[in-house]
Chains A and B, each alone.
Chain A
């Protein structure tokens, strides 16, 4: 049974701080990893994808992947109140690319002004 695990939070950080969101996965064969942001009452939107070990940066967001430890994280620098949302980690089922995704339960982030 493939699983994706996340701390449910809530994670509370002050405005301007770095928010660190963590995710572990059980399938060693996984090759693609995705972070989605879901605002309350809205549908998820893709914010980061990562395929190789190491860091990938996009603006204030950095995804970090460690396949040996089966661990992927998302760092949000200079956190803003508008970043307050639930962040979902997702891994494709069966070694695919996207579409058929296994989601973690999400970490709720609250950024306090």
Chain B
């Protein structure tokens, strides 16, 4: 199995600031995925992060708002920029490893 860790586990931020979320996986993986789960809602894919290339964003998500880094095969960061209360959500990192998709524990973000 793949073990995924995320930092921070939770944070409370002020409107207009930015937060960078880190994702570390214990195995090398080609693609890493960033999902969002808004309160009471299901998961929505934000973007796919490939090592050595720019991230691919889903409809409704843009690089200026959610810049992503993928410096190596075990690590990625997602930044939530210029935050508003609508960005309050759980952000989850995910990987596919040996035909199974694993999710990190999530980062619970509250924007005031």
Chain A residues close to B by CB (< 8 Å): 34, 42-46, 88, 93, 97-106
Size bin of chain B's contact surface: 20 to 34
* Chain A residue at minimal CB-CB distance from B41: A105
The secondary-structure label for the interface of chain B is strand
Assembled-state Cα–Cα distance A47/B33 (Å): 19
Question: Do B42 and A105 have beta carbons less than 8 Å apart?
Answer: yes
Kindly list chain B residues whose C-beta atoms are within 8 Å of the C-beta of A46.
100-102
B:10-52 near A, CB below 8 Å: 31, 33, 41-45, 48
Kindly list chain A residues whose C-beta atoms are within 8 Å of the C-beta of B92.
43
Kindly list chain A residues whose C-beta atoms are within 8 Å of the C-beta of B104.
43
**How near does chain B come to A36, taking the closest CB pair, in angstroms?**
8
Chain B residues close to A by CB (< 8 Å): 31, 33, 41-45, 48, 58, 92, 94, 96, 99-106
The secondary-structure label for the interface of chain A is loop
Kindly list chain B residues whose C-beta atoms are within 8 Å of the C-beta of A98.
96, 99-101
Assembled-state Cα–Cα distance A50/B110 (Å): 36
- B31 touches which one: A34, A88, A99, A103 (CB < 8 A)? A99
Kindly list chain A residues whose C-beta atoms are within 8 Å of the C-beta of B44.
103
Question: Do A103 and B96 have beta carbons less than 8 Å apart?
Answer: no
Assembled-state Cα–Cα distance A88/B96 (Å): 17
Assembled-state Cα–Cα distance A88/B104 (Å): 16
Question: Do B42 and A106 have beta carbons less than 8 Å apart?
Answer: yes
Assembled-state Cα–Cα distance A34/B42 (Å): 14
Kindly list chain A residues whose C-beta atoms are within 8 Å of the C-beta of B42.
88, 103-106
Assembled-state Cα–Cα distance A50/B86 (Å): 35
The 8 tightest CB contacts between A and B, nearest first, are: A43-B103, A103-B42, A105-B42, A103-B43, A98-B101, A98-B96, A99-B96, A44-B103
Question: Do B43 and A44 have beta carbons less than 8 Å apart?
Answer: yes
Assembled-state Cα–Cα distance A34/B106 (Å): 20
Assembled-state Cα–Cα distance A106/B44 (Å): 13
